[in-house]
Amino acid sequence: MNKRKMHDRIRSFIYTEGRTLPLETVLVLEAPLEIVINDTRRILIMCTPGMIRELVFGFLFTEGFVRDVSQVDRFDLKACPRPGGDEILEANVRISGWTERLGGVAEAGRSSYSSCGICGRDGFDNLAEGLGRVKSRQRFSMEVILTLPEKLSRLQPLYERTGGAHAAVVFDKHGAPVLRSEDMGRHNALDKVIGAALLEGVPREDKLLLSSGRASLEMILKTVKAGFPVFVALSRPTSRAVEAAKFYNVTLIDMAKDSNRIYSHVRRVDPTGS
């Protein structure tokens, strides 16, 4: 994880007991990141400037630009000053064997914002092109899964400071955290932790993903691409997410307000805790 600043202090006001008082508020940073592929393709992502290398590699993988991180021959990150004292992060990558037709997003100039995981894609029918079903037979104890939300609360330092960050965590079958990430956007947080798993060579077939955000279609597709068999979310999923989880053999669990609903492939969940 890099040491870039991920939050800032902003002067604000609070209304209390009939008065408006000045207050210093800590907010999560939102920064532009431009990914330049082979000096020809430019993609803009709004993100929180931490774990940038992991974010870029995870994004390139889950969006179909690379099939393996070994295809990335070069990665250079620099901060480019902008008028007014601002800066934009620029990640230059060289991908071996890459052509425009291999990219999963629309033509050059696509922008991806923190709340938008599939904005700018070539078309709905191309979202899951070439995606295979998850083949893992690993089972997970429900007793272990029930402990994960409380563990997550201790793995979100940025959220604790700002109240405005999402988290994604990889847990092993015993409930031990393996990798974690935070970002203003849930898609970015997921790409960061997937990128970290790829770069560190962490096996995914016996791990599960926990997200602080909602399980939507694109979140499930990223999970499938990375090969995780279980996705746990802290809020209710969308109907498309459930459909995708069923089709691609992902166990989707919702723990919103202790609902503990399992929407797909319940066979992977051991209710006895053995």
Q: Which residues are catalytic?
A: 116
Q: Judging by DSSP bridges, how do beta strands 87-95 and 31-37 pair with one another? A: parallel
Q: Please give the full DSSP string across 164-206, using - where no structure is assigned.
A: --EEEEEEETTS-EEEEEEESSHHHHHHHHHHHHHHHT---TT
- By residue count, the chain amounts to 274
Residues 6+ apart with CB under 8 A from 202: 170, 178, 179, 196
Residue 185: CB atoms within 10 Å: 24
How far apart CA 115 and CA 26 sit, in angstroms, is: 21
For residues 181 and 170, give the distance between their C-alpha atoms in angstroms, rounded to a whole number: 9
**Cα–Cα distance for residue pair 242/263, rounded to 1 Å:** 6
Sheet of strand 72-81: strand arrangement = 72-81, 87-95, 31-37, 41-47, 110-112
Going from the C-alpha of 4 to that of each of 35, 78, 183, the distances in angstroms are 17, 12, 13
